Structure 1
Amino acid sequence: MRRARNPVQTAVWWVKKQPPKVKTALAVLTGIVVLVFLRFVIRDHDNLFVAAEFIHAVGIGCLIYKLMKEKTCAGLSLKSQELTAIFLMVRLYCSVVMEFDIHTLLDFFTFLTTAWVIYMMRFKLKSTASDDLDNLPIYYVLAPCALLAVLIHPGTTHHIVNRVLWAFCVYLEAVSVMPQLRVMQNTRVVEPFTAHYVFALGIARFLSCAHWILQVLDGHSFLLSALGYGLWPGMVLLSEIVQTTILADFCYYYVKSVMDGQMMVRLPSGVV
């Protein structure tokens, strides 16, 4: 006798059968429902940003475990880690000179752990690195972010250099994961701890995006005054949405693999 599926398995099976446009619409609808839920359940929406940074730290913890226990950095992108370190370093500087709050401390600890991961990948475990797969030139990411930061940056009263640097780290954060996605695109099979890390990034980016959207919807004058005027507020929100969208495909296949009881995440051609 065929075993009956539970409701979750039935829902997953139904979603798998849908065409890409329906899956996209369902993903957008799910995101909207979650946003509404978060708006009414969490009173202080700034906690979403703290939660995003905490989940990012959990993802880095998965990398540290992988590097220490498995003694390999195969499947990881050194370039993504270096881009992450760059935007964190710039954001730390901006945070110290422009605000200095709990986010400054969180970014500091995240930067330290990211720097340790880079050290392990570049020196201790270099023989296991995926250099041939990590083939996205880093200046393809840095140059457009720098140019965009010069053209569109906050219109606040801070020094122009600080405003441009702030914009640069926002834009760079949005696309820093692209070399890691290129590595996964080249391998097609993502081992567990790397998958956990990228999935954690996806969740962190969604929470960060939700934070900005809900703050703007609530009309918090402090946030709006901090963002300034002109194109910059829209670019901040667009950057958050871009980050979330970039990782959405992978998060779908991660959840699918978990629901199917698979340890490895297998990506079909064209994903990420």
Structure 2
Amino acid sequence: MNIFRFTGDMFHLVSILLLLLKIYATKSCSGISLKTQELYAVVFIARYLNLFTIVISVYNSVMKVVFIATSLAIVYYMRWHPAVKRSYDRDLDSFKYQFLVLFAFILALFVHDKFTVLEIFWAFSIYLEAVAILPQLVLLQRSGNVDNLTVQYVFFLGAYRALYILNWIYRYFTDAHFNGWISCISGILQTALYADFFYYYFISWKTNSKLKLPA
């Protein structure tokens, strides 16, 4: 465990807590992509199939449970909670995410470290996470004006991935047996998807104005 990974994990956790706070406090999921949240639920379930078979540390196991539980809770609230689901922007959240799942799974079948069930699903989760934010970013562009909690959620989610790149660089120079090329390439792609958002986030911060993404 290094400072980059730990900080990245904390940023990831903060992003989820901000999203839960938005849903709980406002009873609204306006501006949030259900499709992205469902993709993240699939990502965590596929990645942590080894939850009860491989225990690396208490910290690792707790984080696995937290990410699975919170992602499923968010999907539940957006799909079935009477007050929350009424605010869901179904017409704006129309990204064809099935193609992302299919692409990630086919890629995992051919590009993986080992041809085992757990390794294929792990690779699938890495590839899918790299593009899971796309429905959310498209929804933000279509909606234009974004509320502050949603903005902070996306910012911390992007910052978490950027910090993980620093984590991989650090491990490359300090871990003689580091072999994370799949994670590195996917993580760089995922962080690049946030570039446009980060640009307008910086502009809104600099001008002390509300973030507005171009349609």
Superposed pair shares fold, TM > 0.5: yes
Check the 8 A contact 2:37/2:74 in 1, yes or no.
yes
- Tell me: higher relative CO, structure 1 or 2? Use CA pairs within 8 A at least 6 residues apart: 2
What whole-Å deviation, never above 9, does each CA across 1:184-241 have from its counterpart, x for those lacking one? 12112221111000000111010011111221133x124x2xx3xxxxx433211010
SS at match of 2:183: helix
Q: How does 1:114-129 map to 2 (within 5 A)?
A: 114-124=71-81, 125-129=84-88
| Structure 2 partner of 1:22 | none
Cα distance in 2 between the residues matched to 1:109 and 1:119: 15
Which of 176, 193, 199 does residue 246 from structure 1 map onto? 193
Unaligned runs of 5+ in 2: none
SS at match of 1:267: coil
Give the alignment's Cα RMSD to 1 decimal. 1.7
Kindly indicate whether residue 104 of structure 2 is the aligned counterpart of residue 145 of structure 1: yes
Check the 8 A contact 1:202/1:248 in 2, yes or no.
no
Cα distance in 2 between the residues matched to 1:53 and 1:108: 13
Which of 134, 142, 158 does residue 93 from structure 2 map onto? 134
What whole-Å deviation, never above 9, does each CA across 1:145-180 have from its counterpart, x for those lacking one? 00110001014xxx6111111111111111111110
| Structure 2 partner of 1:10 | none
The one-letter code sitting in structure 2 at the alignment partner of 1:187 is S
Shift, 1:182, TM fit: 1.2
The one-letter code sitting in structure 2 at the alignment partner of 1:120 is Y
Q: Give the number of equivalent residue pairs.
A: 212
| Structure 1 partner of 2:143 | 187
Check the 8 A contact 2:123/2:182 in 1, yes or no.
no
| Structure 2 partner of 1:50 | 6
Q: How does 1:27-176 map to 2 (within 5 A)?
A: 46-94=2-50, 96-98=52-54, 100-101=56-57, 102-124=59-81, 125-155=84-114, 160-176=116-132
Kindly indicate whether residue 163 of structure 2 is the aligned counterpart of residue 204 of structure 1: no
The one-letter code sitting in structure 2 at the alignment partner of 1:212 is W
| Structure 2 partner of 1:215 | 171
Pick the structure with greater CA Rg.
1
| Structure 2 partner of 1:25 | none
TM-score (norm 2): 0.91
Cα distance in 2 between the residues matched to 1:96 and 1:210: 29
Shift, 1:100, TM fit: 3.1
SS at match of 1:100: coil
Shift, 1:76, TM fit: 0.4
Q: Quick one: percent identity of the two aligned structures? A: 30
Shift, 1:127, TM fit: 1.1
Cα distance in 2 between the residues matched to 1:161 and 1:97: 13
Unaligned runs of 5+ in 1: 1-43, 228-232
Kindly indicate whether residue 170 of structure 2 is the aligned counterpart of residue 235 of structure 1: no
Cα distance in 1 between the residues matched to 2:7 and 2:30: 28
Shift, 1:50, TM fit: 2.2
Return closer, same or farther for 1:94/1:247 CA change in 2, 3 Å cut-off. Answer: farther
Return closer, same or farther for 1:174/1:99 CA change in 2, 3 Å cut-off. Answer: farther
